[in-house]
């Protein structure tokens, strides 16, 4: 394989999303270690990126307004001892097709079935950021034999004690996205302007997303279905609150760890104990919401401490 040819996973379908490899086709390191994969699950062609052949399977679930690509900077360092799978959530990134709902219980079912298709029925280590956190929880709560642990990053888990109304007060964009279809109509054709403003508005003292990262996120959110699905992640939070309240009646017993920015620790950390009473947590000083970008060394250290491998 030429170092500058994007790899495709064995058994993968022909991709329906044009340009899926725009950010990776000239990335020699990516093509050395990772490959793209596509498989249809319940009428949605799911896109995932897979690398490594270690015995420990780790799944990465992204947030908004990102895709699997938010984990690209740390993925090679996660490989020793692991098989690493970064998934584009249904309707997002380079996944193609519309799930019947963007509630997180439904999205978790797609992830569950994708993992089953890949042969990973148990002992899966899950990492979730932002809305990836909100998908990771029902995945673990509904498929308890499949998930070995949850490593969660900076997101609000609605349910018994964190209500949507409280979470919506965190940032202006929650209310904006609820305006349907006005939000789509205003952002369509202006995705780059909108995302540039958004990333700048949540920027901390650290560096903002790189030009390459921004270009990739603009590319995927310029797909009309992805823009709409991204807003639907927010519009279904009230139903998520109800679903999680029921799921939290049976607490998780697997290990759960959450890291978060200091500014929202009081909002994000307590609700995790509604789901997992013995969960542990840590604050990342000086970082904002996009932890894998702003504090990659700390994120890697926390992941490796929580999910140790047998590889030195």
Catalytic residues: 130, 234, 289
Give the count of beta carbons closer than 10 Å to the beta carbon of residue 40. Answer: 14
DSSP structural state of residue 262:
G
Interacting residues of 2 by C-beta distance below 8 A, sequence separation 6+: none
Cα(241)–Cα(77) distance, rounded to whole angstroms? 35
Q: What are the structure tokens assigned to 75, written together?
A: 């993925």
Token couple for 77: 């360092």
The neighbour count for residue 283, using CB atoms within 10 Å, is 16
Nearest CA among 28, 86, 24 for reference residue 57: 86
Burial 184-222 (b: 16+ CB within 10 A, else e): eeebeeebeebbeebbeeeebeeebbeeebeebbbbbbb
Report yes or no: 221 and 191 within 8 Å, Cβ to Cβ. yes
Q: Which residues pair with 36 in a beta bridge?
A: 8, 49
How many other C-beta atoms are found inside a 10 Å radius of the C-beta of residue 225? 14
Instruction: Report helix, strand or coil for 104.
Output: helix
Token pair of 131, please?
């809305």
- Cα 104 to Cα 209, 234, 282, distances in angstroms: 26, 10, 25
Number of helices and strands in the chain (H, E): 15, 8
Distance CA 276, CA 226 (A): 31
């Amino acid at each position: 394989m030429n170092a500058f040819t994007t790899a495709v996973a064995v058994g993968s379908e022909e991709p329906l999303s044009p340009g899926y490899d725009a950010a990776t086709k000239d990335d020699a390191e990516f093509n050395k270690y990772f490959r793209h994969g596509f498989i249809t699950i319940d009428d949605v062609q799911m896109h995932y990126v897979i690398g490594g052949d270690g015995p420990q399977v780790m799944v990465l679930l992204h947030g908004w307004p990102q895709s699997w690509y938010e984990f690209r900077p740390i993925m090679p360092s996660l490989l020793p001892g692991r098989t690493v799978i970064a998934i584009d959530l249904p309707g997002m990134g380079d996944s193609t097709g519309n799930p019947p709902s963007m509630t997180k219980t439904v999205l978790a079912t797609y992830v569950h079935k994708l993992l089953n298709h890949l042969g990973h029925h148990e002992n899966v280590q899950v990492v979730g950021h932002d809305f990836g956190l909100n998908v990771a929880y029902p995945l673990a709560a509904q498929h308890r034999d499949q998930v070995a642990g949850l490593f969660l990053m900076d997101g609000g888990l609605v349910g018994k004690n964190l209500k949507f109304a409280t979470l919506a007060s965190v940032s202006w964009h929650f209310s904006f996205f609820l305006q349907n279809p006005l939000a789509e109509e205003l952002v369509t054709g202006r995705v780059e302007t909108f995302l540039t403003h958004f990333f700048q508005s949540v920027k901390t003292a650290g560096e903002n997303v790189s030009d390459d990262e921004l270009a990739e996120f603009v590319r995927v959110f310029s797909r009309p279905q992805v823009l709409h699905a991204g807003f639907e992640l927010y519009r279904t939070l009230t139903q998520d609150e109800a679903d999680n309240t029921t799921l939290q009646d049976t607490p998780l017993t697997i290990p759960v760890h959450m890291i978060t920015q200091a500014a929202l620790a009081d909002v994000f950390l307590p609700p995790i104990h509604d789901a997992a009473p013995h969960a542990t947590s840590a604050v990342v000083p000086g970082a904002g919401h996009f932890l894998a970008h702003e504090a990659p060394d700390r994120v890697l250290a926390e992941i490796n401490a929580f999910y140790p491998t047998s590889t030195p």
